[in-house]
Structure 1
Amino acid sequence: MSNDPFADVSPWDEPTEAPIAETPEESPVTTAPATVSAAPNPFKIGLTFKAASGFDAEWITPTVYGGSADEVAQRTVDLIGALKEHGVIELASKAAEYTRGQFKGGSGGAAKAAPKRFEGGRVVAAGGGDSGGAPEGDTTCVHGQRTHRTGANWEAMFCPAREKSEQCPPAWKDKKTGRFVAKG
């Protein structure tokens, strides 16, 4: 039977001749010895060095590979020692701090936030009134320091919770008073 789709033979017709058996080509034989694993470094460990507990903290996330668990463990110790010796962790922290300092739309982050206290069901900055030039009003929520955002004709402070379903309502800037007020 022909494999030609344009042939004048119906696929339902009985073949009149015995089909010729096609022999597949044989794959070449290799003489390489068999290995336990095809991967040159079957063991790996991923590390995360996080500078602080907040979402805005810088991370260094190296991965270490090796041919055995012992090799990966030793390489991990060597990596941590080299990161410390060459000041990589401190340099990454300084670079992240510099980058955050270049951002012109934010409140400066939680590192510069005033101490907090719980009052009337809300987290508020300690000292209450004067915030030293920072936005006034609802600049914090139960999840911490709110993030300042602006648009063409609006300003608001948003909850820092990662999950949208857990976020507190935004605190919108009242143009008459200049204070941020959470509604809801």
Structure 2
Amino acid sequence: MTTAAPVVATPNPFKIGLTFKAASGFDAEWITPTVFGGSADEVAQRTVDLIAALKEYGVIELASKAAEYTRGQYKGATAAAKTAPKRFEGGKVVSSGGGAHGGDVECVHGPRTYRSGGTWEAMFCPAREKSEQCPPAWKDKKTGRFVVKG
């Protein structure tokens, strides 16, 4: 009895990753589809088709509304978190509200960690790798706000 050799499907050699944001703010939802194809022309055409379909069916708007609904259902969120959206300012993420500490209390990696050492107070980047950490925000004794000195 002879058996035929299995057919091995080769993956599409061309792909493009896209990122669509639901809004202009830092905290906007992202949709990140990947388009595959057997040729560059096929990937380009499929990308155009995908963008047209996302627009036609309102996918970005639906994703934004679904995420907003989900955030509204989260009972652990504080009132400050709900009312103080984050934004970019001078290349850094800043909070509109300020919270318990004012100033640069967040960075691109999230909320900074408070530390003090007797005569100083600072907020440090939460990134795990030291090489990826943002500069610390030191407390300005005159204003009481945390500031990244540059």
- Give the TM-score taking structure 2 as reference length: 0.53
Structure 2 distance, partners of 1:92, 1:65, is 23
Q: Is contact 2:125-2:135 (8 Å) kept?
A: yes
Structure with more relative contact order (C-alpha pairs < 8 Å, separation 6 or more): 2
Select 2:104's aligned residue among 141, 154, 160. Answer: 141
Counterpart selection for 2:35 from 54, 57, 64? 64
Q: Percent identity?
A: 57
Alignment match, 1:78: 49
Structure 2 CA distance for partners of 1:167 and 1:113, relative to 1, 3 Å: farther
2:58 to 87, 92, 96: 87
How big is each residue's C-alpha offset from its partner over 1:116-151, in whole Å with a ceiling of 9 and x where there is no partner?
9xxxxxx886xxxxx8xxx9632653536x86xxxx
1:103 and 2:66 matched? no
Q: Does 1:163 align with 2:134?
A: no
Q: Which has the larger helix fraction?
A: 2
Relative to 1, partners in 2 of residues 1:124 and 1:71: Cα closer, same or farther, differing over 3 Å? closer
CA distance in 1 between partners of 2:80 and 2:4 (Å): 63
Q: How far did residue 65 of structure 1 move?
A: 1.0
RMSD: 4.3
The structure having more radius of gyration, on CA atoms, is 1
- Do the aligned residues in 2 keep the contact of 1:41 with 1:67 (CA within 8 Å)? yes
Gaps of 5+ in 2: 88-93, 112-122, 138-145
**CA offsets per residue over residues 145-164 of structure 1, 9 Å max, x none?**
x86xxxxxxxxxxx795625
Distance (whole Å) between structure 2 residues aligned to residue 141 and residue 106 of structure 1: 21
- Offset at residue 43 of structure 1 (A): 1.1
Post-superposition offset of 1:93: 0.4
CA distance in 2, matches of 1:48, 1:91: 16
Unaligned runs of 5+ residues in structure 1 are 1-27, 33-37, 117-122, 126-130, 148-158, 170-181
Separation (CA, whole Å) in 1 of partners of 2:40 and 2:21: 24
Matches within 5 A, 1:33-72: 39-51=10-22, 52-54=24-26, 56-72=27-43
Separation in 2, partners of 1:141, 1:29:
66
TM-score (norm 1): 0.44
CA contact 2:80–2:99 (8 Å) conserved in 1? no
